[in-house]
Amino acid sequence: TMKINFFSILFSFNIIFTNILATEIDSSFIVQWQDSTWGEGGLFPAGPAWNMVGPYDFDNDGFGDFVVSSSYAGQYCNGVYHYEAVNDDSIAVKWVYTFYDLSCAYDAYSSVAVGNIDGDNYPEILSLVDTSPGVTGQRGLQIFEWSPDSMSFLSTPTFTWDMGLDSVWEAGQIFVEDLDGDNKEEIIVSVMDGPWEEIGSGGSSRLMIFELDTVVNDSAIFNIEYEDNAWTNWSGYNISTGDLDNDGLMEIYTVAYEYYHVIVYENTEEDQYEYQTDFYVSSELYERGNQGILIHDINNDGANELFVLTSGTNTLAGTLLAPGKFYVAGNIDDVSTLSFADFNYFASYSGGLRQVINGDADGDGNPNLYLAGHYNESLYDWEYNGGDPLLIENYTESIVFMDDTTDNYTPGNDQGKVRVAKLFTGDIDNDNKNDIIFSSASFAPDKPHLFMIEHDGTLGFGNQHNLAPQRISIGQNYPNPFNPETRFQYTISQSNQVSLVVYDILGKEVRTIYEGFRNAGTYHARWQGAGKNNQIVSSGVYFFQLKVGENRITKKMVFGK
């Protein structure tokens, strides 16, 4: 019996390993930096890196910054960590805050986002943290503002808030974005404020959308714009936003761990949101959701696609219960009708999947999707080659990172792996070579938890502008004609200075809707029909112009009576 079990395990391992190696490994990506392991005395992060956001440039020195939150730190307590590239292929910890005021014995999760919620142009780190179950008075939202004097984040929280909850049993996710185009950023959180319950029993999770209203005596007053406190049984581990049906209204997508449960909401007007739909990607007991959802116009045709990953499940002994799967949806006219029937299956991964992002780390001008390979200890690159983005044959898959998959077997535990989880792209060390930064959600004391891999530049990142010139698009305003409010959606393919300006029929500037630096992505804006003097303009024909670098697009709109 022992021989049969041994050879069964070996046979299963060979199948999994063979499937992994069936995809070509791209040797042009090289690990250039990794943090010190716990076994080597590395202190940060104190627990597995649960959440990571970047890149930023907080001090405007040309070197990229990113922020990490830990999980399951136990007696060491969870914390939030600011990292910055300090030289070529070198990254250092710049700031740390540990949540000693919360329950170190209990806290399992913490999540992090970066925003500018008070509109003062200084960034804040927003941390969502577990608190002691049933212990009132602890504040699960803690916000740290950047200090231009110390060129660092403040050593104590600028604002804290309990979000009106008795306690945070599980800090699922936090996300910051101006959803309704009023130039005030919303904070979106998914939390559990009670214990896990049986499937279908109602649960204890909730989604909340709120924004900073005012500050009184250094205390923040928040306005809750929307709350759904019965939307799933288990906490939503992902929050993403976008406009999948291209109606000019921003949608909020959250993915709950329970059977991969997708819930969709939509912004309808300023500070107003409505539930749209929800459905299960799978009814399989172990096919769960985690952090993989992305709304992105990969072929730049003005219509967004939805890319979705399931996490799959393994037992603590490493037994595969369900693989992770990769799906794509598109051509959605009304997001309220979205269902699993709209999903196109692309691939399965035995070790499950976590986050998916877009980028062009090899600098060849073709857009890429990067998939975190979790228990396969791999990072996958799906490069889009043109054509219908819903067809798998229009992509080329490769592996840009794989750890040693033979050195991690610990009897009764599968945590001795590099569990690739969160990632982002960008030239953070300012050497004209693109980087991919990713985290590992592993408990392994002999494995790093943060990695930077870099493309070797063989395709010439310095020539990327010639290979992939700046592409911009802006849809027709909606509604049009309008009175008094209309909305805009625009997309830029590369980070740049951006302005969106309204002109009258004589070419005179009426109102600057937005002016500033934007990273590549899709954005929404709103004009309420007021000129520079904040008075409503006269009815008639107006023009709006999007300028990105030296590129401009101008379109006509009508302000009705």
What local confidence, expressed as pLDDT, does residue 345 receive? 92
CA 319 to chain centre: 29
Q: How many CA atoms lie within 13 A of 278 on its CB side?
A: 18
Looking at residue 103, its pLDDT comes to: 66
Does residue 5 lie within any of the structural domains? no
Q: State the pLDDT at residue 304.
A: 93
* Domain presence at residue 17: no
- Domain identity same for 264 and 374: yes
Cis bond leading into 469, ω under 30°?
no
The pLDDT of residue 209 = 96
State yes or no: cis peptide before 481, omega within 30 of 0: yes
Q: Please tell me whether residues 426 and 548 are part of one structural domain.
A: no
Residues 218 and 122 in one domain: yes
Q: In what order do the strands lie in the sheet with 236-242?
A: 236-242, 251-256, 261-269, 272-280
* 1 domain-assigned: no
At 55 the pLDDT is 93
**Residue 415 burial (C-beta neighbours within 10 Å; 0-12, 13-18, 19+):** middle
Domain boundary among 455, 481, 496: 455
Can you give the pTM of this predicted structure?
A: 0.79
**Can you tell me the distance from the alpha carbon of 153 to that of 144, in angstroms, rounded to the nearest whole number?**
6
Closest CA to 516 of 482, 470, 548: 548
Whether residues 335 and 396 fall in one domain: yes
Domain-located, residue 79 = yes
Domain count, the chain: 2
**Burial class of residue 104 in the structure, from the number of CB atoms within 10 Å of its CB (0-12 exposed, 13-18 middle, 19+ buried):** middle
* Domain presence at residue 13: no
pLDDT at 466: 32
> Domain residues for 201?
29-455
Do 354 and 394 fall within a single domain?
yes
Does residue 83 sit in the same domain as residue 158? yes
Is residue 176 in some structural domain? yes
Would you say 78 and 71 are in contact if contact means Cβ atoms under 8 Å apart?
A: yes
The pLDDT value recorded for residue 106 is 67
Q: Are residues 445 and 485 in the same domain?
A: no
Q: How far apart are CA 22 and CA 15, in angstroms?
A: 11
The pLDDT assigned to 363 comes to 86
438 and 506 in one domain?
no
Question: The domain spanning residue 364 has which CATH number?
Answer: 2.130.10.130
**Residue at a domain's end among 388, 423, 455:** 455
Strand pairing partners for 173?
Answer: 190
For 461-485, give the secondary structure using H, E and C. HHHHHHHCCCCEEECCCECCCECCC
Q: Could you tell me if residue 194 is inside a domain?
A: yes
Same domain, 83 and 172: yes
DSSP state of 537: P
Given 425, 455, 485, which residue is the final one in a domain?
Answer: 455
481 and 366, same structural domain? no
Strands 472-474 and 152-153, sheet pairing: unpaired
The predicted pLDDT at position 523 comes to: 86
| DSSP state letters, 388-411 | -TT-GGGEEEEEEEE--TTS--BT
Residues 94 and 185 in one domain: yes
User: What's the CATH code of the domain at 505?
Assistant: 2.60.40.1930
Residue 466 in any domain: the answer is: no
477 & 449 share domain: no
Block means of pLDDT (10 residues each) for the chain, 561 residues, are 31 38 74 91 88 93 94 86 95 95 74 94 94 82 96 96 88 92 92 66 77 92 88 71 92 79 91 91 58 89 91 64 87 94 91 90 91 90 94 93 69 66 92 93 88 79 36 86 90 84 87 85 88 88 88 87 72
